[in-house]
Structure 1
């Protein structure tokens, strides 16, 4: 689980740097959407690591926002836009059904978890599930 928390925190910290110099507006929109996902993962991750005080309402709101943002992923990638700063692999468009299935999985997972965080002990399992979902998509569709 610590691996998934670390990935979320690193992703959110490098988002601003990655966006500098992006010229394609479609790619910029995708990056902003992914940055919002990372931001919400950071809300949960910092609580799970004890770096922020536990707040069930904030954690559940972050899960709801992750679900909402995940629902936008297919529309953000409909155009096969490229940019040297993009980490999106061409496999996205070559394997569109698999890519969109990953997005739907994240949307449904986060939506199902939203409202279930009642105690600090609930954060770890939620982060583990979210991290696996995000990681599965990144393994196939994001440049390393």
Structure 2
């Protein structure tokens, strides 16, 4: 009787642990998707400024750069092993097979964004410095994100 109870309790604990791990993976996927969507939302108006279709606004540019710097530090931690199994993720398995490169790309994004934040003071310096920052995004998307 005690053995059965112990076995049942152990099975129950394992089920809870497994379910918690699955939920944690789903949460981490949602969290990284939220931060990456924020990148996109912040980049759209800045992209318009680069193309000349939107008037230059230093505060908008600075807000985007501040978010890049902040989130570039957080995002690599939101791609733990096993989080590629979520059906809602667009992350490619290459992230986990080449994690050092993936993490280095976020570090470079953060460094480039911080340098651009310090250098951009007007429209001319924006047009000279911002393109290097957003090239980081394309390089990562090309290698580590599913094409839609």
User: Which segments of 5 or more consecutive residues in structure 2 lack a partner in the other structure?
Assistant: 1-24
Residue 97 (structure 1) aligned to one of 96, 100, 108 = 100
TM-score using structure 1 length: 0.75
After the TM superposition, which residues 1-144 of structure 1 pair with which residues of structure 2 at under 5 Å, given as runs? 24-81=26-83, 82-144=85-147
Report the Cα distance in structure 1 between the residues aligned to 2:66 and 2:102, rounded to whole angstroms: 21
- Asked whether the equivalents of residues 40 and 66 of structure 1 are also in contact (C-alpha less than 8 Å), the reply is no
User: Larger Cα Rg: Structure 1 or Structure 2?
Assistant: 2
Q: Give the SS at the match of 1:143.
A: coil
Q: What's the CA shift string for 1:70-124, capped at 9, x where partnerless?
A: 1111111124313223110111111111110001000111011113222222333
Q: Which runs of 5+ in 1 are unaligned?
A: 1-22
Relative to its length, the structure with more helix (as a share) is 2
CA deviations on 1:22-79 (whole Å, 9 max, x unpaired) are: x922211111111111122223212222333222232122212111111111111124
- Aligned residues of 1:66 and 1:110 also touching (Cα < 8 A): yes
Which deviates more from structure 2 when the two are superposed, residues 95-104 or residues 64-73? 64-73
In the TM superposition, structure 1's runs of 4+ consecutive aligned residues that sit over 3 Å from their partners are none
Question: Which structure carries more relative contact order (alpha carbon 8 Å, separation 6+)?
Answer: 1
Deviation at 1:140, TM superposition (A): 1.5
Q: TM-score, normalising length from structure 2?
A: 0.73
CA distance in 2, matches of 1:54, 1:133: 22
| Closer, same or farther: CA 112–79 of 1 in aligned 2, 3 Å | same
Q: 1:95 to 1:88 in 2, by over 3 A?
A: same
